[in-house]
């Protein structure tokens, strides 16, 4: 007689919660599997012979102009480069200030200096770039880091590749 007065509504609510959790797990598994196909399996890397040499890096602190001369001393053509500066004299501080937007070849390119859409800087060729830092609050430049970039064909697609292994640094005197 005592059991007849109890409500069974609590059981149906628990079943609803269990079903909700099961559906959430199933949906998250499906989303994970579909997003996993977007991530490339192999990291696209530059060939081992990519190299760039900083021939000259002069910073005029009066005009805030950085004059940069680079030579492709590697075996492969280069399309451009990332350039970062350090405005603190402490050598343990990383160069994190992107200078790409302060040169005409780097404006509106997404943080890198693009020489041309094809890999146009051939081995043993030299380029000069001027970076006008007068309108910025960067101040004195103590060092720069340059990471070459190139376009490579991977799986019949042209890919933009950053050559992090070929990074060079120069202290500005």
Q: What pLDDT shows up at residue 133?
A: 87
Q: How large a percentage of the chain has pLDDT more than 90?
A: 31
Q: How many domains does the chain have?
A: 2
Q: What pLDDT shows up at residue 107?
A: 65
Q: What pLDDT shows up at residue 1?
A: 47
Phi, psi of 102 (to 5 degrees): -100, 15
Say yes or no: 87 and 16 in one domain: no
Say yes or no: 17 and 87 in one domain: no
Quick check: is 44 in a domain? no
Quick check: is 96 in a domain? yes
Quick check: is 1 in a domain? no
pTM, to two decimals: 0.72
Say yes or no: 81 and 14 in one domain: no
Say yes or no: 31 and 58 in one domain: no
Domain limits at 27? 10-36
Say yes or no: 68 and 126 in one domain: yes
Quick check: is 46 in a domain? no
Residue 83's CB is within 10 A of a number of other CB atoms, namely: 25
Say yes or no: 66 and 27 in one domain: no
Over residues 88-106, mean pLDDT = 82
Q: What is the mean pLDDT of the chain?
A: 85
Quick check: is 65 in a domain? yes
Burial of 108 by CB count in 10 Å (0-12 exposed, 13-18 middle, 19+ buried)? Answer: exposed
């Amino acid at each position: 007689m005592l059991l007849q007065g109890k409500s069974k509504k609590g059981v149906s609510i628990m079943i609803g919660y269990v079903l909700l959790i099961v559906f959430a797990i199933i949906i998250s598994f499906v989303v994970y599997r579909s997003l996993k196909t977007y991530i490339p399996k192999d990291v696209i890397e530059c060939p081992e012979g990519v190299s760039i040499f900083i021939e000259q890096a002069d910073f005029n602190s009066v005009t805030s102009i950085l004059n940069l001369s680079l030579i492709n001393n590697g075996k492969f053509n280069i399309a451009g480069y990332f350039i970062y500066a350090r405005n603190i004299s402490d050598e343990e501080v990383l160069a994190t200030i992107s200078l790409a937007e302060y040169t005409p070849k780097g404006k509106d390119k997404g943080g890198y200096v693009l020489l041309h859409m094809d890999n146009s800087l051939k081995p043993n060729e030299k380029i000069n770039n001027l970076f006008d830092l007068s309108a910025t609050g960067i101040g004195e430049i103590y060092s720069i880091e340059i990471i070459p970039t190139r376009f490579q064909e991977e799986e019949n697609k042209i890919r933009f590749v950053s050559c992090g292994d070929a990074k060079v640094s120069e202290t500005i005197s």
